[in-house]
Amino acid sequence: MKVNISTYGCSANQASAEIMKASVRDSGHELVPAENAEVVVINTCTVKNTTEQKILHKIRELGEKGTGVIVTGCMPQVQLEDIMHQNPDAHILGVNSISRLGHVLDSMEHAKGSSKENFKVFMPEPEGFQSVPRIRYNPNIHICQLSQGCNYSCAYCIVTIARGSLRSFGPDEIVDDIKRAVDEGCREIWLTSQDNGQYGTDRDVLLPQLLEMICRIPGQFKIRVGMMNPFSVTPILEDLLVAFDNEKIYTFLHLPIQSASDDVLKNMNRYHSISEANYIIERFRARFTEMTLFTDIITGYPGETDDDFRKTVDWVKEYRPEKVNISRFTPRPLTKAWDLRKIDSRIIVNRSNELHEVCEAVKLESRTGLIGREVDVFLSKDAKQDGMMARTDSYKPVIIPCCGMEPGVTCRVFIYDATPGYFLARIVRPY
């Protein structure tokens, strides 16, 4: 069958899509562009209402055209009725069941011309996420999912409901998965999950120890540790700082604060105060002077006052994160925040726009600090522009036009300019 895979959402979903693409190929089916597909696999995300509505529209539209549809990702776990209402003929692959895609495609092919049958596969535990074939979005980057699920229940978050409680994959499985990727030529490893800081709290190996195991893998590669919540970092902070002090790990910290108001954090059922998040950032910056900070912020959460919002704006100005993922609050079904009284949408839009302007100003100012300096960079992948995308030790993006070198190499560069999205550099010398 001719199959297309359409993916939304996080890097864990991207990793699942890479595995499913290989599954399509290895089960004897053909990967094609969406317009040529007999079957479209929609790998869904349900974090935001706008994304959900786009996906539901696509599910309905494909069904009306007579194209086969398989829906996977988070939505089938929590919004199965909505999916089936839009397309009663849709087939379902639960979030733990991506390894069964080939079987579902085979079943669909054998059922052609007979009475229509919906295939629904929901597995209680994740299967087929480690050391399996992939067709990667970028051959130099391997996305390794450390775990499935989360043991916390932030009031706005539907992902915990969709993916269930934490199940950490075995540390030896993870190490073998990354060894295989490095042997296949990957030079950048992204560690992902719903919250990397929780890794191993259901096992006997925590994240710092896992990082030490990964860093012992032979070869030249770099590790990007993905999002960690403040409340999951606090218990492992000292060991995590030591683990990050390895040349293979980017000094990159993605720490979502969501708000700088303790009142809002309490209403969100977050498990940290803003002072606890600040302490983590200060400890990282004291140890790693070139550290890069990413964070996530929700504007317009129910009950957020002007004063609460001003605290968040002031926090951005003081802590100066290099990137802020700003989300306007939209209630998600089945969450504790679903029934809360909403703030006027115009207020939410105004707050989001103001925060965006502040974040852009902070980012622009931070860009000027590297111009005119020589720094070491790791060549990561071919750039969309002519040249090579490289990363500093703190994961700052650097484009080297007309590079002439292969990914996986460290070299010294001179940074001569910056755009809103990246720095521009020329090579001084390779190592």
Contact between 42 and 72 under an 8 Å Cβ cutoff? The reply is: yes
Dihedral, 88, 93, 94, 99 alpha carbons, nearest 10: 180
Residue 111: which H helix or E strand, with range? Answer: none
In order of their start, the domains of the chain are: 2-121 (3.40.50.12160), 141-367 (3.80.30.20), 371-430 (2.40.50.140)
Cα radius of gyration (the chain):
22
Q: Is 16 helix (H, G, I), strand (E, B) or coil?
A: helix
Q: How far is CA 96 from CA 52, 166, 172, 231, 353, in A?
A: 20, 13, 20, 26, 37
Evaluate if pTM is beyond 0.85.
Answer: yes
Q: How far is CA 267 from the centre of its chain?
A: 25
Distance (Å, rounded) from C-alpha 396 to C-alpha 402?
19
DSSP codes, 38-58: SEEEEEE--SSHHHHHHHHHH
From first to last of its 431 residues, the chain has per-residue pLDDT tens of 999 999 999 999 999 999 999 999 999 999 999 999 999 999 999 998 999 999 999 999 999 999 999 999 999 999 999 999 999 999 999 999 999 999 999 999 888 756 567 899 999 999 999 999 999 998 999 999 999 999 999 999 999 999 999 999 999 999 999 999 999 999 999 999 999 999 999 999 999 999 999 999 999 899 999 999 999 999 999 999 999 999 999 999 999 999 999 999 999 999 999 999 999 999 999 999 999 999 999 999 999 999 999 999 999 999 999 999 999 999 999 999 999 999 999 999 999 999 999 999 998 888 888 899 999 999 988 887 778 999 999 999 999 998 888 888 899 999 999 987 899 999 998 87
